Structure 1
Amino acid sequence: MSLSTQELCRAISQNTSYDAFAPALNAQQWEMLGTYLQPLDLPAGQILLDEGSQDRSVYFVESGALSVHVIGSSGKMQLAILNAGSVVGEGAFFSHLPRSANVIATGASRLWRLTPIRFSEMSNRQPALALEVALALGAVIAKRMVNKPKRVAVT
């Protein structure tokens, strides 16, 4: 397993939050998943997602923290803080709808991006891997939807 994939795998396996992304992947599958992901380093304060944008990528957080918030009539309202091992962007990835919130790095962060095109390639070449990733992302959405405070954080 490459060092980069190892760090992402470690972050995800150590995430014990209620809505953790928890795919059942072996080392070979993690390595394969890594070939479909693009690394992205964000400095503190960098915007990852804009509410209303059409990007459908999903992002896996290796390190750092992200603030999920909306801007209402009374100003900025924080919805959630996502830490290492979390996933963000899962809502638009599945729904094809615009982003429902803004996401900003609260500190230097390392993410891994999975675009719909790369997911489609994975689905064709590695269907069992793609299915496991899709089911694990679906579980994140389901858990966030059941938890009222986190429901609006499905981006």
Structure 2
Amino acid sequence: MSIQNLSRAIAENINTDAFALTFNVQQWETLAGYLQPIETGVGDVLIEQGTPDRSVFFVESGAISVHRVSSKEQMKLAVLTAGSVVGEGSFFSRQPHSANVVVTGAGRVWRLTAIRFAEMSNRQPNMALEIAMALGAVIAKRMAHRSKRVAVT
């Protein structure tokens, strides 16, 4: 499965919290070997609030909704589309996810697990560093934007 549509979606994302990764074609192909492509359907749950999974999801196409559930209410935090990333907070913090992430528009996401990232860190340290820096930048941008601050998952 080609990763070129994901690379295009990331390159074309102009949102303030965009995941800015500028790999060449060969680097994208190498990255594909560490990712798991997932076809998504409306209602699929990518991330469950409170779970400890450290996977990061890169959105190639479709749309996902990020929402937090409390004992009193369900609050929508963000809607993310092609070129976005989700799961970055738990990836770094090793804390349980702070929100649910549910597919609202069918498409494709690419999953990077913590184990595969560790493998990449050993085999492709420069690529792993670039990804970590780009994910960190997403968190910084979301934290600086008051309405997106709570959307760090």
TM-score scaled by length of structure 2: 0.97
Paired amino acid for 1:137: L
User: What's 2:27 paired with?
Assistant: 29
User: 3-state DSSP class of the match of 1:33?
Assistant: helix
C-alpha distance in 2 between matches for 1:97 and 1:108: 28
User: What's 2:63 paired with?
Assistant: 65
Structure 1 segments unaligned to the other structure (5+ residues): none
C-alpha distance in 2 between matches for 1:44 and 1:4: 23
User: What's 1:98 paired with?
Assistant: 96
Give the superposition deviation at 1:91.
Answer: 0.4
Paired amino acid for 2:75: M
TM-score scaled by length of structure 1: 0.96
* Aligned alpha-carbon RMSD (Å): 1.0
Give 2:150's match in structure 1, choosing from 133, 139, 152.
152
C-alpha distance in 2 between matches for 1:33 and 1:43: 24
Structure 2 segments unaligned to the other structure (5+ residues): none
Paired amino acid for 1:109: G
User: What's 1:53 paired with?
Assistant: 51
User: What's 1:15 paired with?
Assistant: 13
Give the superposition deviation at 1:28.
Answer: 1.0
C-alpha distance in 2 between matches for 1:134 and 1:32: 16
Aligned residue-pair number: 153
Aligned identity (percent) is 63
User: What's 1:118 paired with?
Assistant: 116
After superposition, give the CA deviation of every residue in 1:133-155 in whole Å (9 maximum; x if it has no partner).
11000000000011111011100
